[in-house]
Chain A
């Protein structure tokens, strides 16, 4: 772990108790936090130089019945990355918005609402962004089967089997 990153972690330990730290590599640290400690941590990290929000995304852990929200913060000063993750309930997915801290978060959250069905308190702009007239469950959830949906909505081409052509391939007359 880089020096400046461990300093930041020390600072965080003062704000957050029971910090669950996973070191992914030299410049990347993953922190798993309880829900209510995410915002203070993000704020502290932002003030400490990790002010570039790379990505907000979610992972569907269907066996646990949880969604894992992932905030990736990056520092332009030392090249360190923090992955801040928190798990929320899958049945009533809800979290608080961070759009006041990073303007782009508004669109990331809107995207997460569209693809996972997660609601963000304080962010009311939840109209569909990428999909138009979507009529099924949010598509990036693990129990959604895109193949099934594609078969139902978009019919395939029906190919006719050319028996004579195949027989010729078997006989070795032509290369398949």
Chain B
């Protein structure tokens, strides 16, 4: 979607949004290990106006930290669809880009943007906290410029995404039956 299509109010709203981003606290993979240093004293994420958030309803950013097994991907899709718009996705690490070191694994997916739209990727295994902060700043810039439009893409190409999800997962529905 082009930049011009935003109204003045949307531009202002985007500017404000970029200043207060809440990141969903869902550690999907091993990249979650570099999140505590980023959040705490040494790198201090909060100076950029970002903080961790417990529930998807109130979060803006879905942060996919590393590999996703098919089992987790179901929950991630659920979580993503639960989040309020606008919502942004950051793929962290090589495994979300192209499978990384698990390119031939039977349990993990190879490419995240095939299932949910991704606004920004951070390459590397595992990226350093500095790379994370750089990515957050880049995401803020993208939001201000109106380029982080993954959530709109998801609405427009919903059929395509759903079809891809079903191809890989068989069924997106989560069967969390009680393990008697």
Footprint of B on A, CB under 8 Å? 127, 131-133, 135-136, 139, 144, 146-147, 149-150, 153-157
- Partner among A132, A133, A150, A156 whose Cβ is within 8 Å of the Cβ of B106: A150
B104 touches A132 (CB 8 A): no
Q: A150-B104, A157-B97 are in contact. Are A132 and B175 (CB under 8 A)?
A: yes
Assess whether B155 is interfacial by the CB under 8 Å rule: no
Q: Give Cα A136–Cα B70 distance, bound, in whole angstroms.
A: 14
The answer to whether A154 and B74 have CB atoms under 8 Å apart is no
* B-chain residues with CB within 8 Å of residue A149 when the two chains form the complex: 106
Question: CA–CA, A131 to B99, complex, Å?
Answer: 18
Given contacts A147-B104, A150-B104, A150-B105, contact A155 B179 (CB under 8 A): no
Chain B neighbourhood of A139, CB < 8 A: 106-107
Q: Give B42-55 as 1s and 0s: 1 = Cβ < 8 Å from A's Cβ atoms.
A: 00000000000000
Q: Given the known A-B contacts A127-B179, A150-B106, are A132 and B71 also in contact in the complex, defined by CB atoms under 8 Å?
A: yes
Q: Can you give 17 A-B contacts (C-beta < 8 A)?
A: A131-B107, A132-B70, A132-B74, A133-B170, A139-B106, A139-B107, A144-B106, A146-B106, A147-B104, A153-B167, A153-B168, A154-B99, A154-B109, A155-B110, A155-B111, A156-B99, A157-B97
Q: Are A154 and B111 closer than 8 Å at their CB atoms?
A: yes
- Complex contacts, A146 vs chain B, CB 8 Å: 104-106
Q: How far is the CB of B141 from chain A (nearest CB, A)?
A: 25
Contact with B111, one of A131, A136, A156 (Cβ below 8 angstroms): A156
Give bound CA distance, A144 to B104, whole Å. Answer: 12
Is the Cβ of B171 less than 8 Å from the Cβ of A133? yes
With both beta carbons as reference points, the residue of chain A lying nearest to B113 in the complex is identified as: A157
A81 to chain B, nearest CB (A): 30
Complex: A156 Cα to B99 Cα, angstroms: 8
B75 CB to nearest A CB, Å: 10
Give the Cβ gap from A175 to chain B, nearest Cβ, in Å. Answer: 18
CB of B79 within 8 A of chain A?
Answer: no
